[in-house]
Structure 1
């Protein structure tokens, strides 16, 4: 319903904090809170053709774990890169691995991690299956959420609402960037970019400056410069 959809968007309003841009000055770069010092490893499911974000993490001293069954490896090599040719999902089999199994195999323990996920819709099953203990290890998460134009459909709305509630148990959203390779869809009266990048920070590392009210952020860059797309006002605290 329109009321449910509006409440969903309101619950995701970002908090304001100091952000830095990591990665390239176009598609593939992300805005993160300036709290990366001391993060031990970056887990990056979904590799694609650009590994500049992961390279920037490696140059900050992180070990970087990459997974993608659709490519042979990352776009560039680095001694800190560790790649597996698998899909990330909600279970383990010959082609797919869950976040918990992957992290436990690569970087067990309690050290803080960074998650950067762009897996074309598999984020819902992957993150719903992830244990709360694992999610708490991620000091920062940047997740590209797909299929948001379908939010009005049952049972997807309930699944997405459940996932965001789970992610917000220990984290706050500090940035939303609509990916303008896609368009805006009217979902129960709420203008909704079909793909949006959400940045989360674990609450113990949030320097909370109130609501974020400036979108796009000065460091935001359109994924496709030929057609700028602003975050609709319903998605932030105007």
Structure 2
């Protein structure tokens, strides 16, 4: 199934209570899978993450809004669900990512380090939200998650760039990628050099490398489908 694109004016993500039947029914199998994965990648941590039990686009006051109902689970549960091929299709992995575009038209893409559960894959900076992204009123601050992940992974401050007003939402099986374009005032090589200096200064960087990729169709198995689709589409949309 090809990824599906949409555009929204804002995100409305709220934390709800939810019992995840998959996690309870498959607990023993999940624990075995986690032990196997941890033996290969001992740096992984079974901390809390947020998935979504609902992801729907609605119209509110003339604006298009992506409404999400997020719930807390453990990373081992999320990882097994992903690695088992998304068996519960009532649940979504929703996350926000910055699409940083250099002044000369390249896109900032990070390569996941060996300690990551998706080692070697290439994504825009970002990650699955967690309880640190939940505000006092139960709102999950996905825009804040985007800025935090960009800073932690690359050392870049989101405020340095000019962010688009809207979001590109890509539905890719059970992934819902919420992407905000950020036009950066520096050329590709300057951005890459800055990020590489940041990675070299980190004791345990999340990224192993960073790339400035041209728009277009990339036949690269390290790019997940939503990334390939985005980079191909921006040739058409500018």
Q: TM-score range by the shorter chain?
A: under 0.3
- Please tell me whether Structure 1 or Structure 2 has the larger radius of gyration of its CA atoms: 2
